[in-house]
């Protein structure tokens, strides 16, 4: 509140310094979470994701709590058993089925599912975090990370984050995928949590 108030009332601030101050404020309010990935039996590395709580707060909070396990062990990605169950080369890697582990289940922190929050952010590049769904307003715990721009998904899947470190890990996941989505070896979220 104070920094936004100062932005409005400070006459000496230039347009670019206002934009930078707003960018700095937005960076500080958006949580950063991580997914540690194992491919086959080998730890591959960490994917760090900025959640866009400034644009999609409901969807971001769902993912943040699933990453931290705040809702308990049944609502947690980092159990060491949650797979990235579907990987299509040149498209995306999908995971987050915390109930069945095969893409047929999932659950949100709000109940079985929740409504599409908005479609403001777009699928513009590799590393975009978006909700997987089975139609409008069916968001749960399943998500996907793009490995290329996927504009045909805009308006159908809620974008709420972006990989800020570990894109190489995501691209390694893509290498074990196939056209059908099955993986040559298991890909597991071995741990997850919040960095800031």
- Give pLDDT tens digits for 84-125: 999 999 999 999 999 999 999 999 999 999 999 999 999 999
158 and 85, same structural domain?
yes
Given a contact cutoff of 8 angstroms between Cβ atoms, the answer to whether 179 and 22 are in contact is no
Structure tokens at 178: 């196939």
**Quick check: 74 pLDDT over 80?**
yes
- What band does 72 get if pLDDT is binned at 50, 70 and 90? confident
| pLDDT for the residue numbered 86 | 98
| Nearest to 143, CA basis, from 178, 170, 183, 179 | 170
Residues 23 and 116 in one domain: no
Phi and psi, residue 95, nearest 5°: -155, -165
Quote the longest CA-to-CA distance of the chain.
60
Contact 147, 123 (CB under 8 A): no
Residue 59 reports pLDDT greater than 70: yes
Please name which of 34, 130, 142, 127 lies closest in space to residue 83, comparing C-alpha atoms. Answer: 142
Say if residue 18 is in the same domain as residue 93: no
125 plus 62 within the same structural domain: yes
Residues 111 and 170 in one domain: yes
- Residues of the domain holding 172: 31-194
One domain for residues 149 and 181:
yes
Q: Domains in the chain: how many in total?
A: 2
Residues 19 and 83 in one domain: no
Q: Where are the alpha helices (DSSP H) in 10-88?
A: 15-29, 57-68
Cβ neighbours for 19, distance < 8 A, ≥ 6 positions apart: none
Q: Which residues are catalytic?
A: 86, 91, 94, 133, 144, 153, 157
87 and 7, same structural domain?
no
Q: pTM (2 decimals)?
A: 0.85
Do 7 and 51 share a structural domain? no
């Amino acid at each position: 509140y104070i920094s936004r108030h100062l932005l409005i009332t400070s006459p000496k601030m230039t347009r670019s310094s206002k934009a930078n101050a707003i960018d700095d404020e937005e960076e500080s309010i958006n949580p950063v979470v991580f997914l540690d990935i194992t491919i086959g039996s080998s730890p591959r590395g960490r994917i760090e994701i900025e959640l866009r709580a400034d644009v999609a707060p409901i969807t971001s909070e769902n993912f943040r709590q699933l990453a931290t396990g705040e809702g308990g062990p049944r609502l947690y990605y980092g159990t060491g058993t949650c797979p990235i169950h579907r990987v299509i080369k040149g498209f995306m890697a999908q995971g987050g089925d915390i109930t069945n582990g095969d893409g047929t289940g999932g659950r949100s922190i709000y109940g079985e599912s929740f409504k599409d929050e908005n479609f403001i952010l777009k699928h513009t590049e590799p590393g975009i975090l978006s909700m997987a769904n089975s139609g409008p307003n069916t968001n749960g715990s399943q998500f996907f990370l793009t490995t290329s721009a996927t504009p045909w998904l805009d308006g159908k899947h809620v974008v709420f984050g972006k990989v800020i470190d570990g894109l190489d890990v995501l691209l390694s996941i893509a290498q074990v995928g196939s056209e059908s989505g099955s993986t040559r070896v298991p890909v597991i979220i071995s741990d997850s949590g919040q960095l800031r």
